[in-house]
Structure 1
């Protein structure tokens, strides 16, 4: 069977397969028998009509199509084996000619990844610094969790909590949207109504109705609202200010935290927590910087089908697995006000980055011979059992949990996660060294 193959960009292989006449004739005979069993032909029992009669009734193109469908699975498998092609998804098949019968197959194959001289990768680390402002912000956050709201007789200020009746009409959008007794915090990072609403709310006195209008940004995400005028009518019923608890030993003890009996101990604990958080944030940022540098120097070629699979995964994740059921997925799309194409397009760039990062991490794991050990996987399962059992000492309950968790699927997920973690740790180790280091043996 004559087969030619050509490697193309984006990890595609174009194959051209020519079918020998003898093989085609056999497939046409089978097609005739199949069609004559399905189509009633006067004067002949099912499956017994001669070929020329069947061909006259249904036409040669229909028989040829049936024969090609019969031949394709075997032709494709043989061609892959002959050309030693490792396909990772279904091909795109086209009919090139009928005399001779030639089909083409566009085959997605495994990505190729070259991370080059990754051992010379170096990224300087920034020194971790914790400022007094960082600690103070954390302390204020703790106090805010125990803050009281007290009514005040003054104009609205930022960080107040208000209770209002609101009516808003957007140009060209029909009836106004009305909400009565809405209570919310006037915060710069708050997501209340349309952008610009809170700016106009600050400074208003109790009572009303107050009326104001403003134009929405031209680049507002909702196209039907972009650049339109929003008109508000607001009645302000109540303004409350946040009153933080006094910062003293009594407050520290009231938190009922182990090891905290006075204000000094609370301040030390908060400072330590802030340091741990900032170190973790810096480490994550450093890791991303190193990966991005490795990506920038790597040569990666991969098929579009892998991007689509990653988009599928992200859509499934964002829709809370509604992606598996069409009806449920359609309801989710309606709830977020987007089409499936819009969702997929919005996720394409993220999916492409996730895929490319995964490919270079996988290649680095191979180059460094990184493979999670069985005891590491088992330790992760033990932690899951401990967490889900709530620390229970009931042996039967723990054994049941272990049976549910210690599965091939769970082990695969844990192994993948550990492989990624260990590989990134190795990458950070390489990038943070002052001199070149040798690959692991």
Structure 2
């Protein structure tokens, strides 16, 4: 075999592989024998029809087509390896110049695009400092108070305050007409919780039991129901009762109700909470730092991403979303119905993030090559061991699920990212 690669536009091109000699003869013979085995001719048992009779009845073009199908995968693998191509989508195949001696297979391929790196070292990006104050810890104690608080009915004539719970009926109207999903009865709403659209809860501060009040709001522009997004609406609200939170005293007895191992006093709660908040904020700071770096290096780089790569990533993200839904006890169909959206709507929403992710991976791959980053087998085995400990699985089981090449790819990207982080100003 011999191959030739012609790069065209948008990271697409033609890979031609000429199959000749013994490779082509074997493919023709194997295809002919398969055809012979399955053909039925009156007067002959299956598989016993003379070759000459078959060749007289079947066109050479048909036999060539079968032989091409037989040899296509081997030819593609040969061409990819010889031309050192990185294919990102299943190629479309055709063939030409078929004869008994040879055939030329033509594969329309999409390959990994060329990345022109911009600045990626010495970036002026800083990781935010983490500081957990006593006030932060006190807010966590207040959350514990809220968890064990009782709702107590306010006296008749008392006005609702921010943080109170009001039980309401409401009817929403746009242009004087009630709209679907805009009504409710005996709904317990905590003022200040942000449960309803912006501006709704604030207008109920000060109402009293028995009040009927019109609440005027504007739906957010990004609201999921397109017919309501950015639109003005009026809700007629009837207030049934108002309750306030009766919070328990902060003491050791309250902390013991949490039933946390080793945490039975207020002082111990404060100590553990400060450690946890510090770790959470450090993780968030690291994530923000990483995202800023990825944004910077992708903005500085130039790459024309084939649409098929973005489509593939959208599919991956959609399937991941579907799996998370199922693990939470919901189906994608139920979610779409609840959000009044279609699968196509969700895919459109995922597309910008998919494009960013694809570009970031391409840029990191280019940095791996530019910096000659390599991952040895020892590092791969270490990663397998760490995953084994993390997921409580046998190493061999993880190896079956995750090939070594995938681990090397991830480790190389991580190493490239660490190199960039270590070089920031």
Same fold (TM over 0.5): yes
Distance 1:215 1:322 in 2: 30
Distance 1:88 1:359 in 2: 12
Query: In structure 1, which of residues 394, 406, 409 is the aligned counterpart of residue 397 of structure 2?
Result: 406
Would the aligned equivalents of 2:221 and 2:230 in 1 still touch at CA under 8 Å?
yes
Structure 2 partner of 1:367: 372
TM-superposed deviation, 1:315: 0.2
Structure 1 partner of 2:187: 182
TM-superposed deviation, 1:316: 0.8
Look up the SS of the partner of 1:239 in the other structure: strand
Would the aligned equivalents of 1:314 and 1:351 in 2 still touch at CA under 8 Å?
yes
Would the aligned equivalents of 1:361 and 1:423 in 2 still touch at CA under 8 Å?
no
TM-superposed deviation, 1:354: 1.8
Pick closer, same or farther for the CA change 1:201–1:39 going to 2, 3 Å: farther
Structure 2 partner of 1:430: 422
TM-superposed deviation, 1:253: 5.5
Structure 2 partner of 1:216: 219
TM-superposed deviation, 1:290: 2.6
Structure 1 partner of 2:167: 163
Query: Taking structure 2 as the reference length, what is the TM-score of the superposition?
Result: 0.70
- Once the two structures are superposed, the pairs formed by residues 26-425 of structure 1 within 5 Å of their partners are 80=80, 83-92=83-92, 105-113=107-115, 118=120, 120-121=122-123, 123-152=125-154, 153=156, 154-171=158-175, 178-190=183-195, 192=196, 194-217=197-220, 220-248=223-251, 250-252=253-255, 255=258, 257=260, 258=262, 260-263=264-267, 265-300=268-303, 302-320=305-323, 333-362=336-365, 363-364=367-368, 367-370=372-375, 372-385=379-392, 402=393, 406-412=397-403, 415=407, 419=411, 422-423=414-415
TM-superposed deviation, 1:163: 1.8
Distance 2:292 2:120 in 1: 14
Distance 1:322 1:249 in 2: 39
Look up the SS of the partner of 1:237 in the other structure: strand
Distance 2:408 2:194 in 1: 37
TM-superposed deviation, 1:134: 3.2
TM-superposed deviation, 1:313: 1.2
TM-superposed deviation, 1:249: 5.2
TM-superposed deviation, 1:10: 4.2
Look up the SS of the partner of 2:235 in the other structure: strand
Look up the SS of the partner of 2:323 in the other structure: coil
* Worse-superposed segment, 420-429 or 372-381: 420-429
Look up the SS of the partner of 1:236 in the other structure: strand
Look up the SS of the partner of 1:319 in the other structure: helix
Task: Please list every run of 5 or more consecutive structure 1 residues that lacks an aligned counterpart in the other structure.
Answer: 41-45, 56-60, 386-401, 435-441
Distance 1:91 1:127 in 2: 49
Would the aligned equivalents of 2:174 and 2:234 in 1 still touch at CA under 8 Å?
yes
